[in-house]
Amino acid sequence: MERVVVTGIGTVNPLGLDPETTWKQALAGTSTAGIIQQFDPSALSVKIACEVRGFDPADFMDFRAARRMDRFQQFAIAATREAVEQSGLDVRAHGERVGVVMATTIGGMYTIQEACRQLLTVGPRKLSPFTIPMLMPNGAAGLVGIEFGARGPAFSVASACASGADGLGSAWRLIRSGEADAMIAGSTDATVCELGMGAFLRLGAMTGGESLDVPKPFDKNRDGLVMGEGAAVIVLESLTFARRRGARILAELAGYGATSDAYHITAPAQDGSGSARAIELALASAGVKPDDVDYINAHGTGTVLNDLSETKAIKRVFGKRAYTIPVSSTKSMTGHMMGTTGALEVIFCMLAIRDGKIPPTIHYSTPDPECDLDYVPNTARTQPVSVAVSNAFGFGGHNAVLVIRAFHE
């Protein structure tokens, strides 16, 4: 089996419009929760979100083309451009052996919302001819392939908030099996709109207060997630291909595990058994022992059920050592970017390995006796990291876990 390495990263998210700015803000423990700017939130009981601010599509793509894209597609193009440029990969020259997996939780939610609004107010004849290309979940994957000339396997993965991790895992498998030499892989979501916010509010999954000191992952007073948005993209290559072209290798994507709770459509298995099994599978596929893990980037949504279930899962896998492994939730800073967080958090793991710094869980003030691990509260920590685990769990009972390792020949 081919080893899979990372040669480029890109992201557009609430912390920043590129990886290095994002990482600097994460280590500083920056909160991005704020009053929603993209629309008037006065009709909503919760008016805060973690938005991508200062994003101009024209900085990353042709302005006219951007007008025919949903926001989630614009994010994908921007993050991909950063990742491909860093990798130095001439995608068109190797196009038939370069694929795309661009995951998304929902697709073009902005477009769905606006199309329904037009349909009900002015009728079907006024719908844009670009409505379907802008809303379809695979639209980002298709546009990335067209924009950069990737002619290998191209598709979208949708497994709720596990989508980004499953997208990377799917790309990892294609390279490991020899079906592709390189993959542009990641996730993109833009759900900070009336439909997205309103629906999650009705579901009861969002924080209910107006304080900006949220979300509060693993804190006793946690009460729900804060909606986020953005994209995160990683260029993955087989070690053989990367060596042949003289690429700079940033890290190794060493393992992937995926399971289903088969329990409930929105709640995780209470004992953490399904997510624990995904962690075990990811470690086994990477050839990594539980004692080798130096850091866990948690799914850590700030919901009562998820944080408790994830804590139990970590204890099931790591036993007593669970109490000595740093576990942090960067969603405390980015908000829950739906599927995208599963990809962005892999980038955080890579940068933690590179710099020997672990990002914090902010907004943590009141320990929960049932969530009693080391959550790196409020302040980043300097500590060597060689092996990191990134957890991603989603509605439907989807569990996806990735293992990231410092690259060694």
The span from the CA of 41 to the CA of 345, in Å, is: 28
Q: CB-based burial of residue 1 (10 Å sphere; 0-12 exposed, 13-18 middle, 19+ buried)?
A: exposed
> What tokens were used for 245?
């072209």
Q: Which residue has the tokens 């989603």?
A: 394
The span from the CA of 81 to the CA of 336, in Å, is: 23
Contact (CB, 8 A) for 6 and 235? yes
Half-sphere exposure of 311 (CA within 13 A, CB side): 21
The H-or-E segment that residue 93 falls in is none
Residues 6+ apart with CB under 8 A from 159: 103, 166, 339, 394, 396, 398, 400
The span from the CA of 72 to the CA of 105, in Å, is: 10
| Residues found in the chain | 409
Calculate the CA 131 to chain-centre distance: 26
Q: What are phi and psi of 283, to 5 degrees?
A: -65, -45
Q: Which residue has the tokens 């829950």?
A: 336
Question: Which entry of 50, 94, 161, 398 is annotated as an active-site residue?
Answer: 161
Secondary structure of residue 197 in the 3-state scheme: helix
> What stretches of 136-193 show up as alpha helix (H) in DSSP?
139-148, 163-176
Give yes or no: 299 in active site: yes
Q: Which residue has the tokens 């009861």?
A: 204
Q: What are phi and psi of 361, to 5 degrees?
A: -100, 110
Question: Which entry of 50, 94, 193, 336 is annotated as an active-site residue?
Answer: 336
Contact (CB, 8 A) for 208 and 127? no
The H-or-E segment that residue 230 falls in is strand 229-238
Q: CA 81, 85, 86, 89: dihedral to nearest 10 degrees?
A: 110
Q: CB-based burial of residue 202 (10 Å sphere; 0-12 exposed, 13-18 middle, 19+ buried)?
A: exposed
Question: Which entry of 94, 299, 363, 398 is annotated as an active-site residue?
Answer: 299
Which of 293, 263, 280 lies closest to 394 in space, CA to CA? 263
Give yes or no: 408 in active site: no
The span from the CA of 341 to the CA of 328, in Å, is: 13
Catalytic positions are: 161, 299, 336
